[in-house]
């Protein structure tokens, strides 16, 4: 039997946690080659290359310090080399880098490769918003599943129980990815809804920006709950307005309501939005100060959503998404978050 060869494209906080899970599972499960190559955007940590440190210490000292990575996970600084011969690509990078990575991988992937995208966000064009899974599929001419859920990386690194959702089009691939990802502490459910899973994962970050503003304004838990409820409704409305075939049940999976809740209480977007209110600093500055090299997705996604709403004259249909955008990018009084959504 031909064994599946796995490559992880990305090595940030979440990418490293995923590599930890997969590095263990490919050894315990049949049908997988044991070595996993993980693409690392090369950085210097002091006088040492990050890839050398990861391969020497079996720990991502920059993005996941203190957590051991299995020794069969090998850090590689060249994305083409990392993907060479792989039949499974696990893509987990900030969405603004997907285009560049796909350009490098074109013509350099296994003819039978398939991918699973853990990327949060969209690709914006003049005609609207394109899901990242579509971009990957069209660029590399491969099938793409998606994974998203209430998955704060540091908690999963500590092996605290959580759930996730995998969206598939081909059920065989969905079951393969479930086997690759699932552990006793990381429960996987698979659903026939690639786009629904992916889009929930992107839009929830905008809701979390709103929730963080509520925390910064000290408006209390009732107000925050209202923002979460309104945000969930706008998320569902937006997704179903612009994309066909989205299943209602998907919004009740881990990728839907559960991810909205956990991101609004524990994620980086909430944290940065609270600091934005409290300190008055820009999101760009706070990203550098608070996120240790990680990227903030919620503000960029808010802008991308608003461009579509504005172009189509739909701002009033989505008052929370519109108000979050205007606070972040137009200097609107943050208190308007509760005044302009009623």
Residues that constitute the known binding site for substrate: 120, 268-269
Structure tokens at 247: 């299943």
**End-to-end distance of the chain based on CA atoms, in angstroms?**
60
Q: What is the DSSP string of 319-333?
A: HHHHHHHHHHHH---
CB 217 within 8 A of CB 334: yes
CB 123 within 8 A of CB 307: no
Q: Of these residues, 62, 204, 224, 236, which one is catalytic?
A: 204
Residue 178 designated active-site: no
Tell me the C-alpha distance between 169 and 189, whole Å: 14
Query: Distances in Å between the alpha carbon of 52 and those of 74, 76, 88?
Result: 10, 9, 24
Report helix, strand or coil for 112. Answer: coil
Q: Tokens 């993907």 belong to which residue?
A: 83
CB 13 within 8 A of CB 154: yes
CB 320 within 8 A of CB 341: yes
Tell me the C-alpha distance between 227 and 221, whole Å: 10
How many C-beta neighbours within 10 Å does residue 99 have? Answer: 13
φ, ψ of residue 158 to 5 degrees: the values are -85, 5
Q: Which residue, among 39, 214, 323, has the nearest Cα to 315 in the 3D structure? A: 323
Indicate the annotated binding residues: 10-15, 41, 97, 120, 153, 268-269, 295, 297
Q: Which residue, among 90, 84, 153, 88, has the nearest Cα to 117 in the 3D structure? A: 90
H helix or E strand, kind and range, residue 130: strand 128-131
Tell me the C-alpha distance between 253 and 271, whole Å: 24
Indicate the annotated binding residues for NAD(+): 10-15, 41, 97, 153, 268, 295, 297
Catalytic residues: 204
């Amino acid at each position: 039997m031909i064994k599946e060869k796995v490559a992880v494209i990305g090595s940030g906080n979440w990418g490293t946690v995923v590599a930890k899970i997969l590095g263990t599972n490919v050894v315990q499960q049949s049908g997988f080659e044991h070595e996993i190559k993980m693409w690392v955007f090369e950085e210097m940590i002091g006088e040492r290359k990050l890839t050398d440190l990861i391969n020497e210490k079996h720990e991502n000292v920059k993005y996941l310090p203190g957590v051991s990575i299995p020794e069969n996970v090998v850090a590689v600084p060249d994305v083409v080399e990392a993907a060479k011969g792989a039949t499974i690509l696990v893509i987990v990078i900030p969405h603004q880098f997907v285009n560049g990575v796909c350009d490098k991988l074109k013509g350099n992937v296994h003819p039978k490769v398939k991918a699973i995208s853990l990327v949060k966000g969209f690709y914006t064009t003049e005609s609207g918003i394109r899901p990242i899974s579509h971009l990957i599929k069209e660029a590399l001419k491969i099938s793409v599943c998606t994974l998203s859920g209430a998955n704060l990386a540091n908690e999963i690194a500590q092996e605290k129980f959580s759930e996730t959702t995998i969206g598939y089009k081909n059920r065989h691939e969905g079951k393969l990815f479930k086997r690759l990802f699932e552990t006793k502490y990381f429960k996987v459910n698979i659903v026939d809804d690639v786009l629904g899973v992916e889009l929930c994962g992107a839009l929830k970050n905008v809701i979390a920006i709103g929730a963080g503003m509520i925390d910064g304004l000290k408006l209390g838990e009732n107000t925050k709950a209202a923002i979460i409820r309104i945000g969930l409704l706008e998320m569902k409305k937006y997704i179903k307005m612009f994309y066909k075939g989205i299943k209602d049940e998907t919004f009740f999976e881990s990728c839907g309501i559960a991810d909205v809740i956990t991101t609004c209480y524990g994620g980086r977007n909430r944290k940065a939005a609270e600091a934005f209110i409290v300190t008055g600093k820009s999101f760009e500055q706070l990203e550098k100060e608070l996120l240790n090299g990680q990227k903030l997705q919620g503000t960029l996604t808010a802008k991308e959503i608003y461009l579509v709403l504005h172009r189509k004259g739909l701002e009033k249909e989505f008052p929370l998404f519109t108000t979050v955008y205007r606070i972040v990018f137009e200097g609107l009084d943050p208190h308007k978050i509760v005044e302009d959504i009623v």
